[in-house]
Amino acid sequence: MPQIAYLGPPGTFTEQATRLLTKGFDAELVPYETVPMALAAVRAGDVLAAGVPVENSVEGSVPATLDALTTGEPLVAVQEAVLPVQFDLLGKPGTALTEIGTVASHPHALAQVRGWLAANLPDARTQATSSTAAAAAAAAAGEFDAAISAPVALEYYPSLERLAGELADVRDAVTRFLLVRRPGVPPEPTGADRTSVCAVISDEVGTLTEMLAELSLRGINISRIESRPLRDRFGEYRFFLDFDGHVADARIGDALTALRRRCSVVRFLGSYPKADRSPASVRPSASEQAFQSAAKWLEDLRAGRLA
């Protein structure tokens, strides 16, 4: 059975996302201690793929993921998952909130439920753990009265019970995960795909604007952009771009070659179905048909067969 890596331990948001990312695919999920370690396992061929957080992660450091993704051998994303940031309070069955003296979780999770804690467990002492699942494990082991965990943790610690839910102070936050593997033929286009790239450009005024114009002139919708400093290359910086469409689409292929011609480095990070399955809107001037008929026209011009 193929193995899929994820940022462990079991019972975290990343595990939950990796299950989603591999749904319908018979694989064994294998936890790794860090994202770079999970990616190294993919690169080494120890596992088939890895589920990693790429945006607004609770437990994983996203900048570290992005850096690991773009350093070393190429990896490409083939699947996307988006999870609501939802925390549960787990403890021994029947525990009343008033009985809780200690509560554990990952520091970021603790920060994100601060308001709920102040209102509901004003006197509880908080304790950091290395993950939300580690908190559940410790609660199950009796080290703490309660844990703040991803809902999925309950499956791993059946001796615990959900004492409260929807603890996050901010509603509607989400985290985004990708399933990455070694390069291969991209997944089939679905009409509702996203493409991710990382590009290095000079920091001259206007270069970034021109890069984005290469996308917008082809009617391509940018869904995410993030620049990241490059310490080792003076006068350049790196940015991550996600946009609607698939490398197999004419407009996307055309835009990618434009980026490739103009950037010092372009790393293709994959084309994959969008988690929300919302179909890309394609302008008539950027349709497959428009690209084909323009290519045919150019061929005719060059051959002197202009009608």
Which residues ranging from 231 to 270 are in contact with a copy of itself (CB under 8 A)? 231-232, 239, 247-248, 253, 256-258, 260-262, 268
- β-partners of residue 128 are 105
Return the range that interacts with a copy of itself (CB under 8 A); candidates 10-18, 21-29, 151-159, 179-187: 179-187
Distance CA 219, CA 214 (A): 9
Closest contact distance (angstroms) between CB of 243 and a copy of itself is: 10
Please list the helix, strand and coil fractions of the chain in percent, rounded to the nearest 5, in that order.
30, 30, 40
Distance CA 36, CA 198 (A): 17
Closest contact distance (angstroms) between CB of 167 and a copy of itself is: 14
Task: Decide whether 28 or 33 has the Cβ nearer to a copy of itself.
Answer: 33
Task: Decide whether 94 or 206 has the Cβ nearer to a copy of itself.
Answer: 206
Using left for φ > 0, alpha for ψ between -120 and 50, and beta otherwise, residue 220 falls in beta
Residue from 119, 142, 229, 276 touching a copy of itself (CB under 8 A): that is: 229
Return the range that interacts with a copy of itself (CB under 8 A); candidates 21-29, 55-63, 93-101, 156-164: 55-63
Return the range that interacts with a copy of itself (CB under 8 A); candidates 14-22, 89-97, 148-156, 165-173: 165-173
Nearest to 175, CA basis, from 87, 272, 68 = 87
* Element of type H or E holding 108: helix 107-112
Instruction: Write the interaction track for a copy of itself spanning residues 56-95; mark x where CB under 8 A is met and - where it is not.
Output: x--x-x-xx--x------x-x-------------------
| Residues touching a copy of itself, count (CB under 8 A) | 89
Q: Is 190 in the site for a copy of itself (CB under 8 A)?
A: no
Q: Is 153 in the site for a copy of itself (CB under 8 A)?
A: no
Nearest to 230, CA basis, from 52, 63, 36, 73 = 63
Which residues ranging from 90 to 109 are in contact with a copy of itself (CB under 8 A)? 106-108
Instruction: Write the interaction track for a copy of itself spanning residues 4-43; mark x where CB under 8 A is met and - where it is not.
Output: -----------------------------xxxxx------
Length of the chain: 307
Distance CA 175, CA 146 (A): 24
Which residues ranging from 133 to 152 are in contact with a copy of itself (CB under 8 A)? 134
Task: Decide whether 160 or 263 has the Cβ nearer to a copy of itself.
Answer: 263
Task: Decide whether 161 or 173 has the Cβ nearer to a copy of itself.
Answer: 173
Closest contact distance (angstroms) between CB of 262 and a copy of itself is: 5
Strand 174-181 and strand 76-84: pairing? antiparallel
* Element of type H or E holding 248: none
Residue from 72, 111, 141, 155 touching a copy of itself (CB under 8 A): that is: 111
Distances (CA, A) of 276 to 221, 270, 279, 293: 15, 17, 9, 32
Q: Is 125 in the site for a copy of itself (CB under 8 A)?
A: no
Distance CA 28, CA 12 (A): 16
Neighbours of 245 (CB within 10 A): 27
Distance CA 25, CA 122 (A): 44
